[in-house]
A and B are shown apart, each in its own frame.
Chain A
Amino acid sequence: MYKYVFILILLLFSSVQAQEEKMTVFEIESFKILIKEVAEKTNTITADFVQIKHLNFLTNDIETIGKIAFKTPNWVKWEYTKPYVYSVIFKENLILINDGGTKSDVKISASKLFKKLNDLIVKSVTGDMFDEENFNISYYKEAAAYKVIFASKDKKLASLIETFVIHFKKETGAVMEVKMIEPSQDFTKIVFTNRIENSKLNDEVFTN
C-alpha cells in the first residue's frame, strides 16, 4: 500500500516539475524583446487587482481589492476599493495619498528604502524589473505563462522582500501576477485582471 502512495507522490511531484521548465537562453532573449516591445507601445494600462496577504499564523489570508492605472512615463495610481478606500499616486518625486479622505503628500526622497520599494511596485505593473545589477534573475516557462524570479541582491531590500515572482502572459507579455516573498516566507500576492492597454487616461486621474 505504502509503495503505491510513494509512487503516486513521485508521479504528482514529477508532474509539478513538468509544468515548470527553465527557459533556454534563446527563449529568455526573445521574451525580453517581447517585454521591451510591449513596454514601448504601451502608453496607458488600467486593470483590476486582488491583493492577498499571507501570514503563516493567520487562519485566513487578508484579501483587498482595487484598481490600478498607469500612464507613461511613470505615473501610477494604485487604488484600494475594498474593504477600505485608499489611493496612492506615484508621480515624479511625489507620492500622493488619499486615506479614506485624509490627504497627504510624501516626497519620495525621504527614505531611500521606501523609494526603492515604491519603484519596484511601480515597475512591477509594467514588468520592467530586468535589473541584473540588483537582482539574480531566473526564468521559467509554464503552460500559459512565463515565470520570472527576481532574487534581491541588496541585503537591506532582501531583509524585507527576498524574492519577487512575476508571471507574464505568454502571448502578450502582460503582467498577470506579482508575488513578493519575505524572508519569513510570508508573502503578498497581487493578481491582475481586466487589463486594458492604451485607453485614454486623463491627467486628472493622477490627482489626489
Chain B
Amino acid sequence: MRFLPISILFLLITSCSLQTTKNLIVKEVSHIEVDNPYFSNTYIDYIYKAKIDIYGRKFGGILIIKKIDENSHRVVFTTEFGNKLFDFLFENDTVINNFVIEELDKKFIVNTLQNDFKLLVSQKNKVLNQFDSGLEDIYKTIDDKQFNFYFINKKSHILDKIVRTSKSKVIVEVLFSNVESVIANSILIHHKNIKLNIGLELFKKD
C-alpha cells in the first residue's frame, strides 16, 4: 500500500514528455532541502571570466558574485575594462535591479539574466520530489511556475548540474565542472529554448 502513491507518481511523471525525468526512478524524499554550495561563503569573492554567445554574437566580460549575508547575493557583470553592464541584488526571493546599461535594458534580456543568476546563487531549495538515475540523486524543486532539478553525483557528492524546466520542456542547464574546495572552476549556462550560452572560468591565482 505504501508503494501505491509512489507508483502513481511514477506513472504520472513518466507519462509527461519531460526529457529530464525520463528513465529516472522515483524515490521517497530524503532531504527537506537541496543545497547549492557554490556561492555560499561570505568571505569569498567569486570572480569569473565570462564568455557569452548569443545567437552567434560573442562577447566577454567579468562576472562577480558575492554572498553579502545569509539571504542575499550581489551579482555584477562588467566588461574587461571594468565598465558595469549590470548589477543585481538577489535577496530571498526578490531581485533588486541596481543597474543595467541602456543597451541591455530590455525586459526579455533582464528577465533571462535574472532567472539565470537566481538559479546560480539560490542556496537552499525546498525539495518537492526525488529521483535516482543510478549515478546521481536528483532533487526536484519548484520556482514560480517552473521546476529545478539538482543532480548530485552519488560518488563525489558534488552538485554536477541544475536543470530548469517548464512542465514539459527543458529551459536551461547549468553545468558545474572542475570543482575544488566547494568552488566550481568552470560553469556553463546552456539555454535550450534560445541560442544563449554563458561560459564561466574562475580567475586563476598565481
Contact: A97 with B81, CB < 8 Å? no
Which residues of A pack against B, CB within 8 Å?
51, 53, 55, 57-60, 62, 64, 78, 80, 82-84, 86, 88, 97, 99-100, 102, 104, 111, 113-114, 117, 121, 156, 160-161, 180, 182, 184, 186, 188
List B residues at the A interface (Cβ < 8 Å): 43-45, 47, 49, 51, 58-60, 62, 64, 66, 68, 74, 76, 78, 80-84, 98-99, 101-103, 201, 203-206
Min CB distance, B171 to chain A, in Å? 25
Given known contacts A59-B45, A102-B51, A83 and B203 CB-to-CB distance under 8 angstroms: yes
Nearest neighbor of B47 in chain A, beta-carbon distance: A62
- Cβ of A84: which chain B residues have Cβ within 8 Å of it? 49, 201, 203-204
Contact status of A83 and B204, CB under 8 A, knowing A53-B78, A88-B80: yes
Do A113 and B43 have beta carbons less than 8 Å apart?
no
Known: A55-B76, A57-B66, A188-B81. A102 touches B102 (CB 8 A): no
Q: State whether B58 touches A99 (Cβ < 8 A).
A: yes
The 4 closest A-B pairs by CB, nearest first: A188-B82, A99-B60, A83-B203, A84-B49
Taking the nearest CB of chain A, how far is it from the CB of B47, in angstroms? Answer: 6
Is B102 within 8 A of A113, CB to CB? yes
Known contacts A62-B62, A99-B60; decide if A160 and B80 are in contact (CB<8 Å).
no
A160 touches B84 (CB 8 A): yes
- On chain B, the residues within 8 Å of A117 by CB distance are 81, 83
**Using Cβ atoms and an 8 Å threshold, which residues of chain A touch B58?**
99, 102, 104
Beyond the given A84-B203, A99-B58, please list 9 additional residue pairs across the A-B interface where CB-CB is below 8 A. Answer: A83-B205, A84-B49, A86-B60, A97-B59, A99-B51, A99-B60, A113-B103, A114-B103, A117-B83
Closest residue of chain B to A64 (Cβ to Cβ) is B80
Q: Are A160 and B60 in touch, CB under 8 angstroms? A: no
- Alpha-carbon distance A102/B49, docked complex (angstroms): 13
* Distance to closest chain B CB from A106 (angstroms): 8
Interface pairs (23), CB distance under 8 Å: A51-B81, A53-B82, A55-B64, A55-B76, A59-B45, A60-B45, A62-B47, A80-B80, A84-B201, A84-B203, A84-B204, A86-B49, A97-B59, A97-B60, A99-B51, A100-B49, A111-B103, A113-B101, A113-B102, A114-B103, A117-B83, A121-B81, A188-B83
Residues of B within 8 A of A83 (CB): 49, 203-206
Given A104-B58, A160-B83, A182-B84: A57 and B68 interface contact (C-beta under 8 Å): yes
Task: Tell me the complex Cα distance, A60–B82, Å.
Answer: 15
CA distance A163 to B144 in the complex (A): 42
Report A118 CB to chain B, min CB distance, Å. 9
Which of B83, B99, B205 has the most A CB atoms < 10 Å from its CB?
A: B83
Q: CA separation between A150 and B122, bound complex, in Å?
A: 41
| Closest chain A residue to B201, Cβ basis | A84
* CA of A111 to CA of B59, assembled, Å: 14
- Determine if A186 and B102 form an interchain contact, defined as CB atoms under 8 angstroms apart: no
Q: Which residues of A contact B206 (CB under 8 A)?
A: 82-83
Smallest CB-CB separation from A52: which chain B residue? B82
Chain A residue, CB-CB nearest to B68: A57
**B60, B101, B201: residue with the most chain A Cβ atoms closer than 10 Å:** B60
Q: Would you call B66 and A58 a contact (CB within 8 A)? A: yes
A168 to B169, CA, bound (A): 58
